[in-house]
Structures are given as C-alpha cells and as structure tokens.
Amino acid sequence: MTTKKIFPLIVAALGTGSIHGAVLVSWDFSDLDWRAGQGSGLVLNGPAPNPILDASKANTAPGIISTDLAPSADLNVVINATTAAGEADVRDFDFGGDGTNENYLEFTITGSLAGTINVETISVSQWRNGGGAVDGMAFEVSVDGGGYSLYDSVQVDANSGNGPSFNTFTFTEAITGADSVGIRFAPRHVNQGSTGNLHINGIEVSGTVVPEPSSLVLISLGGLVLFDRRRK
C-alpha cells in the first residue's frame, strides 16, 4: 500500500516537470544605450562594445544558462542620436558587399543538467532601414558543440525602409535532448540587399526544459522515501 501511495507522486513530478512552450531565453535590448557613456556609439560605425549585452541581461528560464550576446568580428552595431531606446542598429552582415553574409550575432544556451534542452522556436523582431539592408532573415544553430547549420529556413522580409514598425519572424524546428545550443542570427541576401542595416529590438528562444530542476528534487525525495519504506 505504501508503494502505491508514493509511486503516483513520482509520476506526477515527472509529468509536470517540463516547462512547456516557455521562453528559454530572450534579449529585449532595453538596457542597450551606449549614449550613456558605454562604448563609442555616437560615432557612426564606431566599434561596438563586445559583447553587446552580457549574460546578466539575458532573461532565462530555470535550468538555462546563457552566454553573452556578441557580434562577429566585422559586424557593426551602432547606437547614435537617431537610434531609439531599446533597439540596436546592426549593419555589415555582408561585410564589403560581396554577396556573402560573413557576420552574425551569437550566443549559446546551456542546460544546468545534461540533455535537458528542447528548442521549439527562435524569433527576431526587426525592421529594415531601406532596400540596402539584408532581406533574408535566418538563424543558424550548433547542437552540443557541432557545426553550425541553417535552422528551419530563410524568411524574406519584403519591406524596406518601413521603420520604426517592427516585424517579428518566427522559425520552427525541433531540437531535442540537447546539452547546449549555439544560436546565431545570421541574415543573408535573397532578392536584394547589400551592406545596409537592420534595427533589432528582440531575440527570443522558446521550448522546454525537461525535467525542470525543481522537479528533480521532488523525484529524488520521492525515490528516497520509497527506498526507505521498502527497507522497513
């Protein structure tokens, strides 16, 4: 009888331990304003601080750890007198305008326990500052330290010079049971675009953490009680 009473507790902990469809990490750029003395953002195309945002600015779910949000070497991130609060003016994804997108914004999420990350969607909120900006919105991912590859597909933003009206592009592809996932926002040219800039005010990753760390405590306690009762 004792075993029957305790076993449902363990099953319940397993069944409710996931964070279903939750935001695993989000960057909202609300603290990004180099005009307040950080970096040289008042100079157009001045060198941006690296990282753009440190890990403490990431909004993470329980069981998720994020690295800094950092640009690749030749990516220019500008904050100047015309940049609104809470957004970054990002340019030169195609450095030199040779038709190849060499640059990206990058961060990595890691589970506090191995094999617990399931990614469901990745999204970006942005607007193109004119026809010269890259028009193919895209993310690349690296699972558990492997090579980077395209996540889902490339989505075309046909709007140009439509700011400051932000458009959200959401990408869907299942990644399950990962220890860590490296994520790069790496837009590219599809129909048009050169070295122009995007205004970005948010990047978000959603999915599940299985099981949630607090549930593991319940499972462990349930197992200990069951073991103790069986011994008696």
| pLDDT tens-digit series, residues 164-189 | 789 999 999 999 999 999 999 999 98
At 124-150, the pLDDT tens digits run 999 998 878 889 999 999 999 999 999
* Domains of the chain and any CATH numbers: 1-17+211-232 (no CATH), 19-210 (2.60.120.260)
Annotate the chain with three-state secondary structure: CHHHHHHHHHHHHHHCCCCCCEEEEEECCCCCCHHHCCCCCCCCCCCCCCCCECHHHCEECCCEEECCEEECCCCEEECCCCCCCCCEEEECCCCCCCCCCCCCEEEEEEECCCCCEEEEEEEEEEEECCCCCCCEEEEEEEECCCCCEEEEEEEECCCCCCCCCCEEEEEEEEEEEECEEEEEECCECCCCCCCCEEEEEEEEEEEEECCCHHHHHHHHHHHHHHHHHHHC
How far apart (Å, rounded) are the C-alpha atoms in residues 123 and 201? 11
Q: Is the pTM of this model over 0.75?
A: yes
Mean local confidence (pLDDT), 6-19: 37
Task: Judge whether residue 192 has pLDDT over 90.
Answer: no
Looking at residue 15, its pLDDT comes to 39
pLDDT band at 57, cuts 50/70/90? very high
